[in-house]
Structure 1
């Protein structure tokens, strides 16, 4: 089984660190981290990760706009939106734009680990 690579995008350093720790404990390799949508798009094009966690509210380029650019670049991109509860109205727009799922902050460590483990297992099926 090849190691799956994750790109973490969030403007909050503590959130990136938390997602990194949980993903690594679930067997993911971290392809990179970005603190805004512009960095996310550039890093995606450079690293071609298997999955992206993408915050919605960020400086320079928000998550919705970054998602749309990622999907234009790679229609097969697997992007999971990460957002606070008050961003639920934006989530429908994200799913329409191509996001495969969403995680609501604050999240439980066990729930996020289970999500990463399931994503890893799903990727291995033929």
Structure 2
């Protein structure tokens, strides 16, 4: 069965890009969220195999969302998505429980590699 993924980013076109990459590679995008607060709710509702999480978002940022999701499900698999130059935030994200990170603009091969590793 295809692995389910929740895509979280405040930019609709970024969600579209990630969805497109994942769908073409056999993953099932079961939901989308535009901020961390929505992401936490959708995670609880959909229980996806993986979450791709943007770091910088309104209402609740990605790091706070990772902590909330990990509190709800310690085995949650989350990959952070960050723009260039956010190394400190990436370190915070990994410490919060993220498995990996991918950098925008996305290279499809890198996205699939990170997703595959996180799901192993």
TM-score (norm 1): 0.89
Instruction: Give the drift of 1:86.
Output: 1.9
Deviations 1:34-88 (A, max 9, x none): 0000100000000000000000000000001011000000000000000011211
Q: Which residue of 2 aligns with 1:93?
A: 92
What is the aligned length? Answer: 120
Distance 1:109 1:31, change over 3 A: same
Residue 2 of structure 2 aligns to a residue in which SS? coil
State the superposition RMSD in angstroms.
1.3
Q: Which residue of 1 aligns with 2:11?
A: 12
Distance 1:89 1:13, change over 3 A: same
Give, in whole Å, the separation in 2 of the partners of 1:19 and 1:91.
Answer: 19
Give yes or no for contact 2:3–2:28 (8 Å, CA) kept in 1. yes
Structure 2 gap ranges (5+): none
Larger of the two Rg values belongs to structure: 1
